[in-house]
């Protein structure tokens, strides 16, 4: 971290900003989703909504169609996906920052982290 002290502040501020944007976008989508969901008059005990067999969108197709129908659950899920993507976006941003500082070793380190992250997503998607 002592390598580029003069530009360090800028570096840290940018990573912080990426996290801030992700967090705000996620929270806004979740709140919109909850408001939409309750505008459709829900009643009854909560247990039926949290049982393992209760169905909710958990594929990209169902989220997309849910967003078109202004479905509350799809908005909440989209917000949760934005939250999951925030750390990944942060890793991607740091790759660009390390490359721009010509810091090769750390660029390779962060590229490895991104590859492992993408690998884990693909594994999760195809191996169920």
Partner 1 sequence: MSLIDFIISLSLISISAGLLGSLIGLGGGVIIVPVLTLIYHVDIRLAIGASILSVIATSSGAAVTYVREKLTNLRAGMFLEIATTIGAITGAYLTTIIASRSLFVLFAIILAYSALTILRRRKDPEILLKSDDKLANYLDLHGSYYDENEKRTVKYKVQNTKLGLGLMYVAGIVSALLGVGSGALKVPAMDAAMHMPMKASAATSDFMIGVTAAASAGAYFVRGEINPLIAGPVVIGVLIGAIAGSRILNKISSNLIKFIFVAVLVVVAIEMLQRGLS
CA distance 88 to 111: 11
Residue 2 engages partner 1 in binding (rule: CB under 8 A): yes
From candidates 58, 65, 96, 100, binder to partner 1 by CB under 8 A: 58
- Min dist CB 22 to partner 1, Å, is 6
CA-CA distances (angstroms) from residue 110 to 13, 24, 31, 86, 121? 18, 24, 33, 15, 17
Residue 69 engages partner 1 in binding (rule: CB under 8 A): no
CA-CA distances (angstroms) from residue 21 to 30, 42, 89? 14, 31, 11
CA distance 73 to 77: 6
Q: Tally Cβ neighbours within 10 Å of residue 58.
A: 10
Residue 68 engages partner 1 in binding (rule: CB under 8 A): no
Residue 100 engages partner 1 in binding (rule: CB under 8 A): no
- List residues near partner 1 by CB under 8 A: 1-3, 8, 11-13, 15-16, 19-20, 22-23, 26-27, 30-31, 33-34, 37-38, 42-47, 49-52, 54, 56-59, 73, 76-77, 79-81, 83-88, 90-91, 94, 105-106, 109-110, 112-113, 116-117, 119-121, 123-125, 127-128
């Amino acid at each position: 971290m002592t390598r580029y002290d003069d530009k360090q502040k800028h570096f840290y501020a940018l990573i912080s900003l990426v996290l801030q944007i992700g967090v705000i976008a996620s929270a806004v989508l979740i709140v919109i989703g909850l408001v939409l969901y309750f505008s459709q008059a829900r009643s009854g005990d909560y247990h039926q909504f949290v049982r393992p067999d209760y169905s909710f969108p958990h594929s990209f197709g169902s989220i997309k169609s849910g967003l078109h129908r202004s479905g509350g659950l799809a908005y909440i899920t989209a917000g949760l996906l934005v939250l999951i993507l925030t750390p990944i976006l942060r890793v991607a941003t740091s790759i660009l920052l390390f490359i721009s500082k010509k810091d090769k070793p750390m660029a390779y380190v962060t590229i490895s982290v991104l590859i492992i992250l993408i690998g884990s997503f693909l594994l999760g998607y195809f191996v169920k």
